[in-house]
Amino acid sequence: MKHELPKWVDYGLIPLLNLITAFLVAGLVVLLVGENPVKAAYLLVRGAFGYGGGIGYTLFYATNFIFTGLSVAVAIHCGLFNIGSEGQAYVGGIGVAAACLALDRYVPWYVTFPFAVLGAAAMGAAWAFIPAWLQARRGSHVVITTIMFNFIASALMIYLLVEVFKPAGSMAPETRTFEAGGQIPKLDWLFNLFGSSLGGAPFNWSFFLALACCYLVWLLIWRTRLGYEIRTTGINPTAAVYAGIPPVRTVVIAMLISGALAGMMAINPVMGDQARLQESFPAGAGFVGIAVSLMGRNHPVGIILAAILFGMLWQGGAELAFDMPKISRDMIVVIQGLVILFAGALEHMYRPALSRAFARRQVLSADQAAREGV
Amino acid sequence: MENGETELPGDGALAIELKGISKAFGPVQANKDIRLAVKRGTIHGIIGENGAGKSTLMSILYGFYQADSGDIYINGKKTRIADSDAAIAAGIGMVHQHFMLVQNFTVLENVILGAENGAILNSAIGKARTELKRLEDAYDMHVDPDAIIEELPVGLQQRVEILKALYRGAEILILDEPTGVLTPAEADHLFRILQQLKEQGKTVILITHKLREIMAITDEVSVMRRGEIVATRQTAATNVEELAELMVGRHVLLRVDKGQSHPGEVKLSVRNLTIRDSRGVTVVDDVSFDVRAGEIVGIAGVAGNGQSQLLEAISGIRKARSGQVILDGEPIGVTGECDPGMLRERGLAHVPEDRHHMGLVLPFEENENSILGYHDKSKFLNGPMLNIDAIRQDAKAKIEQYDIRPPDCRLKTANFSGGNQQKIVLAREMEVDPVVLLIGQPTRGVDVGAIEFIHKRIIEMRDQGKAILLVSVELDEVRALADRVLVMFAGKVAGEVAPDTPEGEIGLLMAGITQDGAGRKGKAA
């Protein structure tokens, strides 16, 4: 029998406890290298939220994580564990670059933008298609194939950057810098409204695209016929067959949507920040998406919150490494890893104990009610 | 709670005493202040509806769950049972409803599983062989120790489970719904074994929802309802009606009232249907029959004789190897191009045998399950969007009509009881006004109160002129509902009989023995 917990425990208390544990353990690590953990925590939070530029970077990273988190979540709703968001995002960059390189000299950015979005989504979806088809038709496990496709994506992109996209005479494996028509404007005006300033942070319009995607994913999963079919297939494939839902089609479509969402992540760094397609630009965001989706309970609202948390870790962690010389970049990776470990992998650590505690409380209050009733 | 003491076997000492056992799962109180005394050397029945808390109680006794409060006394000694090892050490053995056997191991290997005594198996196997021989002789339950489990019939597999428990020195044997998978003859044999165990001084706890079994074999019976033990009776001093009433808490109708059927034209025709499973084994072999409008054709048989695959093929879930199925005058591509959605369009409704694995998506809200399979109907859609209002309205209407409780269409389906879950499926499949209705195990895991309601609805459907194909492993149910009974054995129709044919005769057919020769292969005329 399953233990039911109140919603606020499931969605609020448990993630909070996991986070606190992660930070306590991270604090111990900081202590071990001889730094003050309280001060480290202060520096991390200040780095992420203490000034306009910090917030800008936090939200810039969060934008990446929202896209990849949604990508993982859509696949999970169909019972698929898409580990390939990293590679799909990477390949998605081709779509962005193609749109920008073709249009940036002729039209303003908001004309280029929809083409870049479509290109990114199409390339991401295309990269997810082969694993999806192999899973649906041949039963090749999507976890294995998507991991392998990450490596293939990496090799393919280097080839393309060096042999195709690199302007003649350039030494770097990257495209030329896009002109203004291929650059998404930063959101300085938004920060100025609050009397703050973005500094140099690359926080841009992609953030709103990410939020729109959150709403659309919610709509898709819980309000459309396709979403209903995806969820049925994900939870109970036998019932899906019984209900006449074609499993092959549903699995492939869910993976295509997942890949498209991952691909759209490329918009943010490529068109919103660097204004060129560079090697390894996803920088692990695809893998962070797995933790974000798990922590956010595969729900768009949870994913936004978890993405901002991880954005904070990325931005605050960078500042911490800068301010505390004993804490190196690698230490930051350790701290991020601990959060992923406790919030993702050990997500259910506190659940049994909490279930018992709540069961007992409910029995007691029921008894009390019974006594008072008499 | 005890009635006046009449003669009970055993020495009167208590093998098990439970004092004030309570266990809650979240807000659900599965067991509440359970007090139970089982006398040594008796067979004690525990009966109750599904969800009454029988299995939870036995799981506490066997160490799967820990009670929230209360004490367990084994042979008068307070015992803490932290896990199944502790239960075995205390002399408790359990035979589960779903056997815990390794299918490709031999009997002997299964018996020593978990009692290997070290890394080298040789000595343990030798010892087990001798001990097994002794047990077989003592209880008259012969099994070939070197047979592979998956090659044994179900009845013998169950025997291995019992031997496993005895090998571990069980003095108290708990059997959870042991007859669900047995033919009547196999069940009788099981009861003889239990009787013998009792005579040797073992204590047996029999969990069942079949009143007849309780009457046939137990010395005492405890009735559970909503997590509590509501009564304990000496079996000799009670009767089926009283027990049924105790289980449900009100008077229940045990027989089904039904009038004469008025069969019309043939709506479903199955011709020479042959089905092979994924291993290439023929599971349905050249089966033919007709179902007419306004009649119920029942398929009886022990579980696993091809009934499930037959239903799956007719409903388009499984491809048949050869043969034909004609639905309302037109053949469906039963060997190739047909899928469940298409057949639904053509008026075939299907209540699947296993509602948890097929008929419902348990984490869904009730209203989401009430459209499963019909989610592509235009009345539930707004373009590509679900019409949530229409879906919930429709679900609410069905909840009212089928008295589904609690009446909350937003509640998670897993939180409904077995009987109410089944009503959700029935409401969905019956309210579409089908031409042909396939029903598998309509009352499996359903409480007595709901059984009455479900049977009534099925008869109503028949009287409305639906063609109904009913598959159930409960022979009583098939006989009560069906107008004609087909008995399936080893993938073939072993015979067709009238529902009032004596049970013994149907039992023989279920075991594959036809009138004109034992175990004759082929279809009876």
Give mean pLDDT, residues A163-186.
92
Give mean pLDDT, residues A253-275.
97
Predicted pLDDT of residue B518: 44
Q: Which two tokens stand for residue A237?
A: 């494939």
Domain spans of chain A, in order of start: 1-35+324-364, 48-308
Is A225 in the B-facing interface, judged by CB distances under 8 Å? yes
Residue A136 CB contacts under 8 Å (≥ 6 apart), including other chains: A247, A248, A249, A251, A252
Predicted pLDDT of residue A205: 96
Contact call for residues A54 and A200 (beta carbons, < 8 A): no
pTM of the model: 0.80
Amino acid at residue number B24 = A
Helix (H) or strand (E) holding B389: helix B388-401
Is A158 in the B-facing interface, judged by CB distances under 8 Å? no
* pLDDT one digit per residue (tens) for chain B, 525 residues: 444 445 677 677 899 999 999 988 766 788 999 999 999 999 999 988 766 788 889 889 998 888 889 999 999 899 999 888 899 999 999 998 778 899 899 999 898 887 777 777 777 888 888 988 888 888 878 888 899 988 888 788 888 999 999 888 899 999 988 887 787 788 888 999 999 999 989 999 999 877 888 888 999 999 998 889 999 999 999 988 888 888 877 666 667 778 889 999 999 999 999 999 877 888 999 999 999 999 999 999 877 789 999 999 999 999 999 999 999 999 998 888 788 999 999 999 999 998 888 999 999 999 999 999 999 999 999 999 999 999 999 999 999 999 998 899 999 998 888 788 999 999 999 999 999 999 999 987 777 778 889 999 999 999 999 999 999 988 888 999 999 999 998 899 999 999 988 888 888 888 777 655 444 444 333
**Residues of chain B with C-beta less than 8 angstroms from the C-beta of A362:** 24, 26-27
Q: What count of other Cβ atoms lies within 10 Å of the Cβ of residue A214?
A: 21
Euclidean distance between CA atoms B244 and B250, whole angstroms: 8
**Residue given tokens 């469940």 in the structure block:** B340
- What confidence category does residue A352 fall into, taking pLDDT thresholds of 50, 70 and 90? confident
Predicted pLDDT of residue B515: 57
Could you say which residues from 58 to 87 on chain A have a Cβ atom under 8 Å away from some Cβ of chain B? none
Euclidean distance between CA atoms B270 and B436, whole angstroms: 13
Q: Are B340 and A239 inside 8 Å of each other by CB?
A: no
In chain A, pLDDT over 90 holds for what percent of residues? 72
Dihedral angle, C-alpha B216, B502, B181, B428, nearest 10 °: -110
**Nearest by Cα to B440 from B486, B464, B418, B471:** B471
Statement: residue A269 has pLDDT above 80: yes
Segment A199-222, tens digit of pLDDT: 889 999 999 999 999 999 999 999
Nearest to B26 among A225, A239, A358 (CB): A358
Helix (H) or strand (E) holding B505: helix B503-510
Predicted pLDDT of residue A142: 94
Is A322 in the B-facing interface, judged by CB distances under 8 Å? no
Nearest to B358 among A5, A242, A358 (CB): A242
Predicted pLDDT of residue A365: 63
Euclidean distance between CA atoms B97 and B188, whole angstroms: 17
Enter the ipTM. 0.84
CA distance B84 to chain A (A): 18
Predicted pLDDT of residue B135: 87
Predicted pLDDT of residue A171: 87
Backbone angles phi, psi at B121, to 5 degrees: -85, -20
A48-308 to CATH, choices 1.10.3470, 1.10.10, 3.40.50, 1.10.287: 1.10.3470
CA distance A350 to chain B (A): 15
Full set of structural domains in chain B with CATH: 1-91+171-249 (3.40.50.300), 98-168 (no CATH), 266-360+435-510 (3.40.50.300)
Nearest to B414 among A2, A5, A244 (CB): A2
Q: Are B360 and A239 inside 8 Å of each other by CB?
A: yes
Nearest to A225 among B27, B373, B381 (CB): B381
Q: How far is CA B301 from CA B185, B305, B471, in A?
A: 13, 7, 9
Segment A325-337, tens digit of pLDDT: 888 888 888 888 8
Contact call for residues B456 and B485 (beta carbons, < 8 A): no
Predicted pLDDT of residue B3: 45
Q: Are B358 and A235 inside 8 Å of each other by CB?
A: no
Q: Are B373 and A366 inside 8 Å of each other by CB?
A: no
Segment A357-374, tens digit of pLDDT: 776 676 566 556 555 554
The residues of B whose Cβ lies within 8 A of any Cβ of A are 22, 24-30, 56, 68, 315-317, 339-342, 344, 350, 352, 357-364, 368, 372-373, 375-376, 381, 384-386, 388, 414-415
Q: How far is CA B216 from CA A84, B206, B208, B239, B474, in A?
A: 61, 12, 12, 11, 17
What does the mean pLDDT of chain A come to? 91
Q: Which two tokens stand for residue A142?
A: 């999507």
Contact call for residues A157 and A279 (beta carbons, < 8 A): yes
Q: Are B340 and A242 inside 8 Å of each other by CB?
A: yes
Cβ pairs A/B, distance under 8 A:
98
Which of helix, strand or coil describes residue A331? helix
Q: Are A228 and B28 inside 8 Å of each other by CB?
A: no
Q: Are A242 and B68 inside 8 Å of each other by CB?
A: no
Euclidean distance between CA atoms A247 and A250, whole angstroms: 5
Euclidean distance between CA atoms B309 and B301, whole angstroms: 13
